[in-house]
Amino acid sequence: MFVATASAQTAVPTPPVGVDPWAVYESAWFDTVGVTDGLPHSTTTAIVQDTRGLIWIGTFGGLVRYDGYRMQVFGQEPDSYAGAVLPDSYVRALMPLPDGGLLIGTNAGGLVRFDPVSMRFHVYPIGPGGTSNGKIFAISRARQAGSFWIATESGVDRLDLATGKITRESMQDGDAKDMVARTFVVSEDKTGNLWVGTDNGLFVRKPGGRFTRVRSTDPAVDEILHDQVWALLQGSHERLWVGTGQSGAIFIDASGQGHLVPGFSGKNGLARRRTVRAFHETAQGVLWAATDGAGVVTYDSVTGQLRMLSHDAAMPSSLPGDITRDIFQDSSGNIWVATELGAAHYDPNGRKVFSVLPSPLESHTLSNANVHAVFVDPRGRVWLGLGMGRVDVLDLAKGTMRHLQLGGEQAERDVQAFVVAPDGSIWAGAQGISRIDPNTFEMRSSMIPSLDGRLILSMQRDGDDLLIGGYDGLFRYETRTGKLTQMRHDDADPKSLVGDQVRHIVRMPDAWWFATISGISIAYDGEKGFVNLRHDPANPSSLPHDYTGSMAFDSRGRLWLGTFGGIAYIDDFKPRGPFRFGVIGARDGLTNTKINALLVDHDDRVWASMANGVAMVDAASHRVADLGIRDGLRIPSYIHRAAAEAPGGELMFGGLGGLTVIRPYWEAPVAGPARLAITHVSINDRPVPLDQVPGDGDAVTLGGDGRNLRVDFALLDFRAPLETHYAYRMDEADNAWNAVPRGIPPSAIYTNLPSGTYTLRLRATVRGLDARTVETSVRVVVTPRWYESPWTLLLGVALGVAVFFGLVSLRTLYLRRRAELLQAQVDARTRDLKTANERLDHLAGTDELTGSLNRRRFLEQAERVRQGAANDGIPFSVVLIDIDDFKAVNDTYGHLAGDTVIRETMRVISSMCRADDLAGRFGGEEFILCLPGALAEHALDITERARHALGAMVIVHGDYRIRITVSAGVAMWRAPESLHSLLGRADEALYQAKNEGRNRSRIARV
């Protein structure tokens, strides 16, 4: 018997002083892959990564291979990817194999192996010579290479992968009498102990022994060890983590002692009696535990902190569902969670920047989405001015957040300014000014009655006075006497305030600087009036723009100033000038020159919030880096001057959607570089086996009649797909790089390639502080057909020359025997007749308005394609495209304009077609395509390119500028379907696109 002693009191260390004070506020941002992305079922069960770097996701409805953009679905249906059919679509467990294949445990179909060479599934037998049961709960690696442990409904099996032999390992003579057969999980540690979690507890088999129950001398631990055991993990510090059905989790250390984790162990822990289904431990010692109904519980073994990650209906970035079944960390560091509403993934490395988000359901989330002001009081507390009169106070030292609601006229207004009054109270400016007691948080409205109803933009303290900026000038309020003095702009007085909208107030050496939307006013101590700085188009060293805001100095005394013309700076600042500004703008790499707020960190890096993001500028080199999702930036829009430095050096920017916090000195854990990989290859629309998909420097060969090539590729870090820009080029065929449009899955497509050897180059460019470009390349070898060999070509040339001279000789003899006049007449009449026939035939099959095929001719040619497909088995697809709200075009611009729209639409659609494709006008504003050799996915790609091109085009008719959108239905032919039936399905898909809101494409149901 294996006895686990216990010491519950000493299991969790006391949190050290250096605990991250932001941890309780930081929102873990999950991106979700769901049914709208191609999952066959929303409930995901298992996630792994294969040797090529692609993610495999098991679901209730099949298995998916995912490259970040595309999903290849394997299920029980005959049309599963490449014809590979699973015996059971409910996938419970996955195990990647070194050859790129997988072991798959199903709910009722037993154990399955996917072969990347044959692209088929091998099903192991169930019963004698096979697995103990068809229900497979878990698969784990054995210490012996090539062997795997299988947990089934009827016990533990062992698989030898090379021979395919399966042996039964549990429920044998000598095993514990009370050990039941139903086994949920199995794990072998490095010393050879085999741990098994069953329906009635934890059992272990030492090398050479039999299974015995694991017990503990502590009744609390022993009770948990008798619960169902669903998850096991050999973690750091030689801990064995045990996840149970209703009692949370415990761990057993190397000496065999069982330890409770306060807050996580027992039926009253964070798991809330929910089954702990899976564990994962990060390199930083953070344990992630998936629960069946309580989301994810994380436990930091260094600090002892527990945290719940659960679904928040008010926060789309939260975990999509609380029923979680698996956790996996990929080679780029992303942590994947299998939930009942898709596979969610979180990037723990993208935490240099993080968000504090709004939600009414959590205590440490914001009470309003829009952060208009950020202020740090003398105690180090962070005050956030929000919309609708709300104020949130973050006490980083205590890890608390308090939500306040201003009253009176301020209750519905944005809180845009804070200041510490002479008595130590906090004054908040919105529509008027309120006072907040910093100890009791008691609030009092209408502190300055004459300012009630006025919008307050900025405040600063000047001794016992307060300087207050708004939309109608600058106010000085004397707190001792209650006197209020207003200063405004006067066109007749050059020393008056430069503008009435005072957005920022900064104390500078011997002066106050007031930033307005009309320039900067400087009030020197002891002097009357203002010195004003404005933009002068004739002076390149003047302010780059009159709309000004934040100001800050770096360690070398350089002044940095945010304007709507870029980031202005003065290298050699003197309090009384001259003020000669340099500027960092669009030419230097800023994606937006409307600077709302800026801060300078301790390493002289300037961080600026813009209308569309945040940028970092190196003060010395002026190098600009735009932050992106890979850095953790998730809030894209900033329109306020809300910014402040936290006591720990973090930089805070208020945005439309929450608070962005930047850790300038945080370094992400080291992770391997992301691979730019080819994920799928098809030749003549036929997929290449996965083991033949080339890697960097490999070759792909197109033989025989293979002339059409499609190469799908992706950067396999599964982060920020819309911020990754892709391009490709065939060195010997393309003059420049072909950019992949944003939002389109990256693919390189070539048709009718001549024989020869090519170099296909693929490129991915990512943004952020670690912006970089990744490239890979493969050789493409197109072998010549038999008649394209050099000797055949030489013989053909020789025969051609001989035939030519022979014909010339015969023609000469012929012409001598015929009268020149008679021959000319015959030739003329023949030409006339031929021209007339061709003209008649053309008119009979051509749409008069567009010059394309009319309905009758199109259907004739499409029927030939269908008959050829029926004989050869080559697929084809049909696309129906309809102009959205075309009647409105005719009603608004006239029928002649409508004719122009139809002609231009037909021109764009035809330009997207290949040489063998058919395109025609089906009638009215409806068009039709027949795409030989195209699967539905390929047809959808062509349709989407046409739809995006039409949506971006401006059609000119006279003085009119007309924009249109189109909807489309795609249907792929299924033998022995008639053309009429195929068109009907495409029409149904078109109407589905119309009913879902137009301007979209839909694939018809089979």
Residues labelled catalytic: 925
Residue corresponding to tokens 């004054």: 427
Beta strands at 699-702 and 772-782: parallel, antiparallel or unpaired: parallel
Report the alpha-carbon distance of residue 154 to residue 157 in Å, rounded: 9
* List of residues 6+ apart from 624 with CB closer than 8 A: 584, 588, 589, 590, 615, 616, 617
Alpha carbon of 423 to those of 392, 433, 461, 511: distances in Å?
A: 21, 15, 11, 24
**Closest of 933, 929, 918 to residue 874, by C-alpha:** 933
Report the alpha-carbon distance of residue 648 to residue 396 in Å, rounded: 9
Give the Cβ contact number of residue 645 at 10 Å.
19
φ and ψ at residue 1000, rounded to 5 degrees: -160, 165
**Closest of 654, 634, 607 to residue 375, by C-alpha:** 654
Q: What is the DSSP letter of 498?
A: S
HSE, side-chain direction, 13 A CA sphere, residue 59: 27
- Element housing 831 (H / E): helix 820-845
Long-range contacts of 168-176 (CB under 8 A, 24+ apart): 168/132, 169/194, 169/205, 170/196, 170/211, 171/132, 172/210, 173/210, 174/210, 175/203, 175/210, 175/211, 176/203, 176/210, 176/211, 176/212, 176/213
Whether cis (ω within 30° of 0) applies to the bond prior to 128 is no
Residue corresponding to tokens 């192991």: 124
* List of residues 6+ apart from 679 with CB closer than 8 A: 52, 54, 67, 70, 693, 712, 713, 714, 716
Give the Cβ contact number of residue 307 at 10 Å.
16
3-state secondary structure 107-144: CCCCEEEEECCCCEEEECCECCCCECCCCEEEEEECCC
* DSSP one-letter string for 591-613: S---EEEEEE-TTSEEEEEETTE
What region does 29 belong to: left with phi over 0, alpha with psi -120 to 50, or beta? beta
Alpha carbon of 621 to those of 108, 584, 600: distances in Å?
A: 63, 11, 15
Report the alpha-carbon distance of residue 598 to residue 613 in Å, rounded: 12
865, 920 contact by CB (below 8 A): no
> Degrees (nearest 5) of the Cα angle 181, 187, 193?
95
Q: Which residues of 869-903 are buried (b: 16+ CB within 10 A; e: fewer)?
A: beeeebbbbbbbbbbbebeebeeebeeebbebbbb
CA dihedral for 481, 486, 487, 492, sign (positive or negative): negative
Burial of 572 (0-12, 13-18, 19+ CB in 10 A): exposed
> Degrees (nearest 5) of the Cα angle 312, 315, 321?
40
Beta strands at 1001-1003 and 966-972: parallel, antiparallel or unpaired: parallel
**Closest of 84, 81, 90 to residue 38, by C-alpha:** 81
Burial of 930 (0-12, 13-18, 19+ CB in 10 A): buried
Strands of 705-751, DSSP E: 709-715, 724-730, 738-739, 747-750
> Degrees (nearest 5) of the Cα angle 608, 609, 611?
135
204 forms beta bridges with: 195, 212
Burial of 802 (0-12, 13-18, 19+ CB in 10 A): exposed
